[in-house]
Amino acid sequence: MKAWHEATWVDPDAPEKPRRRFRWAWLWLLLIPTVLILFSLARYNNYWQYGDWTVATFSCDQPLPGEATWSDMEVAGCAQEAIPGADVKLLDVGVPAQDVETDGTSWTFRNMPTAFSTMGLNVFLQESAGRVYIVDASTTPPTVHREMTASDVDRTVFARNLGEIDTTSFYVVVAPPN
């Protein structure tokens, strides 16, 4: 038996009215502006972390051993200089950077992602090299990050991804063959 409802007596023989369900469609009206505001704040605060990358070329007078350190590079006479015919490409997921400034000794790549581990580096040389290293230039003394892999038999093309790294300033150290 039905009881009181909204201060009126309900007829027990009357057909039951369907219950009104709470509709969630109005939440879209709140969700869309909220997402837009969060997106705007993230964009304004630069949460995507785009910045400028700098790569400088160093040339060595003597060959370098495997697993070289910065002190090994100093002993080998490595110094910042233009390497004839050298070209450096910074890659984001395999796509080379478009906005590049260079003076032959250093390359600056503008507006590239800085918070992702999808970055790679390609070095093209005119003459063959023995070993090529990526060195973190932001530390004192600079820290050898990785040795690059030769991509051709003549050892003129070297490539390597940068992996997890917290800097955007590198040296590419090129040593002569043994």
Confidence (pLDDT) at 120: 93
25 has pLDDT over 80: no
Contact 159, 151 (CB under 8 A): yes
Weakest mean pLDDT among 6-10, 12-16, 87-91, 165-169: 6-10
Confidence (pLDDT) at 19: 67
- d(CA 178, CA 175) in angstroms, rounded, equals 9
Confidence (pLDDT) at 61: 95
Confidence (pLDDT) at 175: 96
pLDDT band per the 50, 70, 90 thresholds, residue 22 = low
Contact 98, 140 (CB under 8 A): no
R_g of the chain computed on alpha carbons: 30
> Percent helix, strand, coil in the chain (nearest 5)?
15, 35, 50
Confidence (pLDDT) at 121: 95
Between 11 and 77, residue with greater pLDDT? 77
Average pLDDT over residues 62-82: 94
114 has pLDDT over 70: yes
Confidence (pLDDT) at 3: 56
**Whole-structure pTM value:** 0.73
Contact 137, 147 (CB under 8 A): no
* Mean pLDDT of the chain, nearest integer: 87
